[in-house]
Amino acid sequence: MKKVTLTALFSLVLWVVSLNAQISMGALSMPGPESKKSPVDKLRFIAQYEMAYVQDTSKPDEITEETMILKVGERVSQFYSYTKFVSDSLFRIQMARSDGMMVRREGPGGGGGGGGSANQGQINYQIFKNYPAGKVTTLERIGPSQFRCEEANACPEWQVLPDTATMLDYLCYKATTHFKGRDYTAWFTPDIPRGEGPWKLCGLPGLILYAEDSRKEFVFECTGLLNARPDEMIEYGADTYEPVSREALSRAYARFASDPIGYVTSNSPNRVVFKGPDGADIRPTNLPYNPIELAE
């Protein structure tokens, strides 16, 4: 399989990533400086989802899979990639042991063979619903940048249908909606009476256990539920994140996808070099970019 090698120097960090020919945006972001976190809500339960998504719409059969976590509190929820959380934690441990110089390698392929990494994860964002109150906050990493985007916490307007199904031994009902540029079908259970769900989906009279858009480019399937310990909290910290609008964040996504080397060099003092299979320098452009939020 053809491979491309990325070599990056990030403040005395040598980052070497072995990727297949499809270089993804998520794989080219590194853990930035950690923010100081503080508890913002009491955790009630945790839902685990397997997220399957298409990164390159010209190759709809190539699916990337990632394990996601939804933490649901009394007022606040947090949604993030468990896969990315683990890889970032290991990266920081290795950094501490290597005096700031290390090599990071990422194997080709992801779940389903779709250009992701089974080890490193692709989803860099965290989503906090109703934090601050009435807002949905997205914490996102794009290349060397860390952004914080606060928007109104608007839930979709759902049409609940009479169809039923059983998922994780819970009786579920079907609902449909149009939300942020896509048509979604979801299955929710009133037996868990929290109007929560994966990503920014919310507002049904029960937890969403399954959701997919009409193109099946983004699919979320709940695979497990766990009650929280009495002392567990949802924590939030964003002092190292730059505040931006949704429009500015969308422009940053597009700019990074069109020219990742140019984006990194214009937003940090670091140097990035891509090497092809023959060792020659290359400059990849126009990375596959399939945002979950589409312009209306």
Which helix (H) or strand (E) covers residue 53, if one does? strand 38-53
Task: Report, as an integer, the average pLDDT of 224-253.
Answer: 94
- Over residues 84-93, the pLDDT tens digits come to 756 555 555 4
**Most confidently modeled range among 18-27, 82-91, 212-221, 257-266:** 212-221
Return d(Cα 264, Cα 144) in angstroms, integer.
6
- The confidence score (pLDDT) of residue 147 equals 95
Beta pairing, strands 207-213 & 145-152: unpaired
Most distant CA pair in the chain: distance in Å?
59
- Over residues 180-208, the pLDDT tens digits come to 999 999 999 999 999 999 999 999 999 99
Task: Report, as an integer, the average pLDDT of 129-138.
Answer: 97
The percent helix, strand, coil of the chain (3-state, each to 5) is: 15, 40, 45
What letter would DSSP give residue 292? Answer: S
Return d(Cα 40, Cα 6) in angstroms, integer.
38
Confidence label for 214 from pLDDT (cuts 50, 70 and 90):
very high
Q: Given a cut of 70, is residue 13 above it in pLDDT?
A: no
Among residues of the chain, what percentage have pLDDT more than 70? Answer: 72
Q: Establish whether the linkage from the previous residue to 132 is cis, with ω within 30° of 0.
A: yes
Return d(Cα 142, Cα 259) in angstroms, integer.
12
Report the SS3 class of residue 266. Answer: helix
Contact 284, 23 (CB under 8 A): yes
Q: Given a cut of 80, is residue 292 above it in pLDDT?
A: yes
Return d(Cα 4, Cα 20) in angstroms, integer.
6
- Phi then psi dihedrals of residue 199, to 5 deg: 55, -130
Q: Residue 295 burial (CB < 10 Å; 0-12/13-18/19+)?
A: exposed
Task: Report, as an integer, the average pLDDT of 207-212.
Answer: 98
Return d(Cα 103, Cα 30) in angstroms, integer.
12
Q: Given a cut of 50, is residue 104 above it in pLDDT?
A: no
Q: Could you give the C-alpha distances from 195 to 47, 162, 165, in angstroms and in order?
A: 13, 18, 18
Model-wide pTM > 0.85: no
- The confidence score (pLDDT) of residue 260 equals 81
